[in-house]
Amino acid sequence: MTIGVLALQGSYNEHISALRRLGVKGVEIKKPGQLDNISALIIPGGESTTMAKLAEYHNLFPALREFVKMGKPVWGTCAGLIFLADKAIGQKEGGQELVGGLDCTVHRNFFGSQIQSFEVDLSVPELSAQEGGLPSFRGVFIRAPAIVEAGPGVEVLAACPVSLKTTSSKSDADTQEVESLPEQKVIVAVKQGNLLGTAFHPELTADTRWHSYFLKMLAKEDEPAPTTLAVVEGGVDLTAGQTPEIEMPIYQ
């Protein structure tokens, strides 16, 4: 099992490190031909406009769209979620190219600017039911997007309580769209078929359950899942309240 991580910009090293802690090989993907040699793909967080320009420069978009259409598992975190969305709003002038496939509308900077980044405990019943551990997950949101509309075939895995006052820094048009939401919660994690999307950064925590969850999406394609999917490096049980040793700086 070899998992590719799009390595144009952003937190791809952190994803590769998390995969390593699960005993799975992660490789950097920078060119279209490299997609032929992997079983699944992670599109990491970063600066989505920069990532899109680099992907366009390397002619990656056609290959990425074909990879999605093949049914292989693809997980987008933060900027990667924007990539996978069929529609994105709140973009810079001129917009950006998208891979698409995920039947949802993503607001690019829903939670505001870099200085408005935050952490919050998210209720994750599906993740907890499949992977064990705590019923919550510490979501790290860095200049984060959010899903403001999801199609009928999209399974919601996590939602974040939100004050609609956070939209005050956005344009009037985008504010109008956000304030039309029926509840003061916004979707931040979804799954649709072979696609997984999270608005936050699981790779910046010691909790590898989202990576384990993603790998089991691949296992459902008749490939064996690693036996260490529910643990972190050193065999530390996440429910025991211990902090495992890690190789890279992470948010605790």
Residue 88, phi then psi, degrees to nearest 5: -130, 140
223 as an active site residue: the answer is no
The residue annotated as part of the active site, out of 14, 131, 149, 203, is 203
Interhelix angle 61-69/48-57, nearest 10 degrees: 100
107 as an active site residue: the answer is no
Task: Compute CA distances 165 → 110, 158, 176, 184, 206, whole Å.
Answer: 11, 21, 12, 10, 31
The residue annotated as part of the active site, out of 107, 131, 149, 201, is 201
Q: How far apart are CA 5 and CA 14, in angstroms?
A: 10
Q: How far apart are CA 217 and CA 220, in angstroms?
A: 5
201 as an active site residue: the answer is yes
The residue annotated as part of the active site, out of 78, 107, 160, 233, is 78
What's the full length of the chain, in residues? 252
Annotated binding site for L-glutamine: which residue ranges?
A: 46-48, 108, 142-143
Tokens of 118: 């935050």
Which active-site residues does the annotation give? 78, 201, 203
